A and B are shown apart, each in its own frame.
Chain A
Amino acid sequence: MAILYAVVARGTVVLAEHSAAATNAGAVARQVLERLPGGGADSHVSYTQDRYVFHAKRTDGITALCMADEAAGRRIPFAFLEDIHGRFVKTYGRAALTSLAYGMNDEFSRVLSQQMDYYSNDPNADRINRMRGEISQVRTVMIDNIDKVLERGDRLDMLVDKTANMQGNTIRFKRQARRFRNTTWWRNVKLTIALIFLLTVIIYVVLVFMCHGFTLPTCIR
């Protein structure tokens, strides 16, 4: 919660106020109202007290004052003051210049509460903060993307190793397949030669019997 307390006053007469926390902001606010410089002239001022800053804006005799964290800076509190000042003047107009103390507190206190909550919590209250938030989101998404891409890189490295391994294995497989083919081919050759030899021997034996001698005398002659 950046804005904790807000007041709308005419001079030192409080017309409406709202406090989001139990503090002594009311008393300090009255002191600030009394110390505002320059009589009734329009002004923007900020006073520091402990960890809080009191911002005050006076225009056309109506003063809007709020207490905010030091971290809230000035841009958001003064945007808040501008907003509630405009709403107050638009709602009550000239009646604000003649009413009694706390004359608008019943109605405007709720408006103060809503606007305090809006300017304290809603990023849309300030374009720069909203843009900063969006860029933070983009940065977070980009960091997440980089992590995912790094993980993907690791998996790709693993895949490279595995595919290199597979390539080696398939080359070895091809080599052994060729060797196996050569072995079976040579075996085929040997069997063929053996068959031819056996047939030759059988034919010779048959001829020996028919020609009546080992040297085949009758057939040759």
Chain B
Amino acid sequence: MSFADLEAGAVRAPRRARGPDATRALVFQITTAVASYRRLLNSLGTPKDTPALRDQLQKTSHNILQLAKDAKEKLRRAAEADKNADTSADKRVADMKLAKDFATTMEEYGKLQNLAIQREMAYKPVVPQTSQPNYTTGGIEARDSGKIPEQHALLAESKRQEVLQLDNEIVFNEAIIEEREQAIQDIQQQIGEVHEAFKDLATLVHIQGVTIEEIDTNIENSAAATKEAKTELAKASKTQKSNSSLLCILLVIFGVVLLIVIIVLAT
């Protein structure tokens, strides 16, 4: 085949020109399928999540894989063809761009697939309600029409009992909650009182701090005054001692003078 292609190069040129167009269309289809896959994926975890939707998701995924396989084959063939010297630069650039777009799309598809797996495990599909089978035979229908009112009545009675039961439980729980709230409010009030007590204590302690400072000042002043007084008294004591000496000397001298005067007058 390859040799035949080389020999008949000129003749087959118009046919090869269709290759890039076909590959481009294929990549476009893959992009469209991935967009559809994303739209289906966004429905997972919502009320629209049904087994039918999940089946559709599987089919779309399968379709994308098939298209990807074909596109990969074509792109590889195009890459091999680009190695020929005959291929123009424009075609080579277009092929490279196409390959890059394809890679980007497949990468995005991989991410979406991981997300789909996570959501499928996290959520359960909503099973649609199956319609009740209808009876076609008149006889069977007549018999069932007799039972249905009784069943409806029993069902209504059962519902009413359940509602009454729930009302009783609600009343009971409300009473318990109210009592608990009352107790908690008592605790809150007591905590408030303790808080006030602590604040009062802080105020008193602060005021007494000021008082103690005053006491300290008074005692320091007293100590200083006492020290000075002690100094003054020490000096006074020394001076008084000197006074005693002087007084003795004066008395002695006076005595001597008096004695001399008496002696002189006697003679």
Residues of chain A having any CB pair with chain B under 8 Å: 37-38, 41-46, 73-75, 78, 128-129, 131-132, 135-136, 138-139, 142-143, 145-146, 149-150, 152-153, 156-157, 159-160, 163-164, 166-167, 169-171, 173-174, 176-178, 180-181, 184-185, 187-188, 191-192, 194-195, 198-199, 202
Q: A132-B186, A192-B246 are in contact. Are A138 and B194 (CB under 8 A)?
A: yes
Q: Count of B residues near A, CB < 8 Å?
A: 55
A131 to B243, CA, bound (A): 83
B218: interface (CB < 8 Å): yes
Within 8 A of A (CB), among B139-180: 161, 164-165, 168-169, 172, 175-176, 179-180
CB of A7 to closest CB in B, whole Å: 19
B13: interface (CB < 8 Å): no
Residues in chain B near residue A195, CB distance under 8 A: 246, 249-250, 253
Residues in chain A near residue B249, CB distance under 8 A: 195
B10: interface (CB < 8 Å): no
Residues in chain A near residue B247, CB distance under 8 A: 191
Q: List 29 A-B contacts (CB under 8 A).
A: A37-B168, A41-B161, A44-B168, A44-B172, A45-B168, A74-B176, A135-B187, A135-B194, A146-B197, A146-B201, A149-B208, A152-B208, A153-B207, A156-B212, A160-B214, A166-B222, A170-B222, A170-B229, A171-B221, A174-B228, A177-B229, A180-B236, A181-B236, A184-B243, A188-B243, A191-B243, A194-B250, A195-B249, A202-B257
B197 touching A132 by the CB < 8 A rule? Answer: no
Minimum-distance CB pairs A-B, first 7: A163-B218, A177-B232, A142-B197, A170-B225, A191-B246, A181-B236, A174-B229
Residues in chain B near residue A194, CB distance under 8 A: 250
Interface residues as binary, B178-219 with A (CB distance below 8 Å gives 1, 0 otherwise): 011001101100110110011011001101100110110011
CB of B68 to closest CB in A, whole Å: 60
Q: A171-B225, A174-B229 are in contact. Are A198 and B243 (CB under 8 A)?
A: no
Residues in chain A near residue B218, CB distance under 8 A: 160, 163-164, 166-167
B87: interface (CB < 8 Å): no
A19 to B153, CA, bound (A): 45
A171 to B204, CA, bound (A): 32
A78 to B176, CA, bound (A): 9
CB of A141 to closest CB in B, whole Å: 9
B239: interface (CB < 8 Å): yes
B225 touching A145 by the CB < 8 A rule? Answer: no
Q: A142-B194, A163-B222, A198-B250 are in contact. Are A156 and B179 (CB under 8 A)?
A: no
Query: Please, which residue of chain B has its CB at the minimum distance from the CB of A201?
Result: B257
Please pick, from A38, A41, A43, A188, the residue contacting B242 in the complex, using a CB distance under 8 A.
Answer: A188
Q: Which of B186, B201, B214, B225 has the most CB of A within 10 A?
A: B225
Query: Please, which residue of chain B has its CB at the minimum distance from the CB of A179?
Result: B232
Residues of chain B having any CB pair with chain A under 8 Å: 161, 164-165, 168-169, 172, 175-176, 179-180, 183-184, 186-187, 190-191, 193-194, 197-198, 200-201, 204-205, 207-208, 211-212, 214-215, 218-219, 221-223, 225-226, 228-230, 232-233, 235-236, 239-240, 242-243, 246-247, 249-250, 253-254, 257
CB of A27 to closest CB in B, whole Å: 25
A156 touching B246 by the CB < 8 A rule? Answer: no
Q: A138-B194, A142-B198 are in contact. Are A74 and B228 (CB under 8 A)?
A: no
Q: A149-B205, A174-B232, A198-B254 are in contact. Are A187 and B211 (CB under 8 A)?
A: no
Query: Please, which residue of chain B has its CB at the minimum distance from the CB of A138?
Result: B194
CB of B228 to closest CB in A, whole Å: 5
A43 touching B204 by the CB < 8 A rule? Answer: no
